Amino acid sequence: MQHTGCDGDGDGMAGHARQDMAGTVRHASVLPLVRAARPAKTEHRAPTRRTHGSTEERMTSDHTTARVTVLGLGRMGSAIAERYLRAGYPTTVWNRTPGRAAHLDELGAERAESLTAALAAGELIVLSHIDTAGVAALLETVPDAVAGRTVLNVSTGRPGDARALGAWMAARGGRFLDGAILGMPATLGTPGALIPYSGSAEAADEHRATIAELGAATYLGADAGLAALHDMAVLAGMYGMFGGFFQATAMLGGEPTTAHRLTTEFLAPWLRALLDVLPTLAAELDAGEFAPTFASIAEMGAVLETIRGVSREQGVPTDLLDPMQRLLETGVARGLGADNFTRAVSVLRDDPVPA
């Protein structure tokens, strides 16, 4: 995930959940019943990362001396280059604006004089740009230079753009991997940076240790669009959380309390407990089983209608909540009101929209 910054570089976001409540969590005014997972046992061990979905590797700099090129030296791109340099990888860097990230020179970075030279220098070329469409436009300026090269794009983009770029690379004798960085520059190289990636299976196998140097890397498969799809889905969940946070704090306007107190004493602990329930709800979705073990669609709709009413009493618009209310009401209208509220996902899936 990358959003703003020069050369398309920006910060990603990564989160973690911890178990604050054990057993059954009750909150009569919000949810009839929440069943939280048991607290996980913790143990101290060397940090690990997951690659190819199943294999864990220690986060060390043990690696073959693959030559890396990093294109785009905004905040994330320069952090990627620094990570590889500190881990001992021969690293070449290139940026459209010369002289960016001068501290990389002190770490031993080689600066390529041209994009063509930068591509020729690396066995793995990592691109950090505005978006995948921008990466495609950049590479299209030197089409002959991608032959025999392996490109890992970590820019934000659409799955279709990643698939198109992968096909374009393959037609010119190159290999393409599309990835996402769900993390921040400071978390690179730690389990706090999640790196889903997909595309050429051959390239993934050859460079999995090099990619895993960036964080908890998971290869999703040969479909180059899978990483972007996972990235966008995770960010959709993030924006939903922020929307709820904005609504909650706006409702306090003019009251003798603060957004900080609401968040630290009530909202954050409650959300942490709910985060640990999400895998159980996801398992229900995969299984297609919707017994009302959490809360039914009708119950959730009634609670949400009350929240919207209180919001209006506080003078706060309900634009952020109205779409969810419509979704739940549609579920009730289709005879699904008694099912677990997760079945509302099927309402979304049953009403496809054009791209």
pLDDT at residue 256 in the model: 78
Q: Which residue has the higher pLDDT, 53 or 168?
A: 168
CA pair distance 32, 315, nearest whole angstrom: 27
pLDDT at residue 268 in the model: 96
Q: Are 13 and 238 in contact (CB under 8 A)?
A: yes
Banded model confidence at residue 322, pLDDT cuts 50, 70, 90: very high
The letter for the amino acid at 134 is: G
pLDDT tens readout for residues 231-286: 999 999 999 999 999 999 999 987 778 999 999 999 999 999 999 999 999 999 99
pLDDT at residue 293 in the model: 85
Q: What's the token pair of residue 333?
A: 């209208």
pLDDT at residue 64 in the model: 59
pLDDT at residue 338 in the model: 96
CA pair distance 12, 235, nearest whole angstrom: 10
Long-range contacts of 62-67 (CB under 8 A, 24+ apart): 62/209, 63/87, 63/88, 63/89, 63/209, 63/210, 63/213, 64/209, 65/89, 65/90, 66/123, 66/124, 66/207, 66/210, 67/91, 67/92, 67/121, 67/122, 67/123, 67/124
Termini Cα distance of the chain: 21
CA pair distance 341, 115, nearest whole angstrom: 52
pLDDT at residue 1 in the model: 54
Task: Write the CA distances from 354 to 224, 296, 351, integer angstroms.
Answer: 21, 29, 10
Q: What is the mean pLDDT of the chain?
A: 85
Per cent of the chain over pLDDT 70 is 82
Length of the chain: 355
pLDDT tens readout for residues 74-101: 999 999 999 999 999 999 999 999 889 9
The kind and range of the H/E element at 219 are: strand 216-219
* Most distant pair of Cα atoms in the chain: their distance: 66
Banded model confidence at residue 208, pLDDT cuts 50, 70, 90: very high
pLDDT at residue 2 in the model: 53
Mean pLDDT (whole number) for 116-128: 97
pLDDT at residue 189 in the model: 95
Mean pLDDT (whole number) for 121-149: 97
Q: Are 184 and 14 in contact (CB under 8 A)?
A: yes
pLDDT at residue 225 in the model: 98
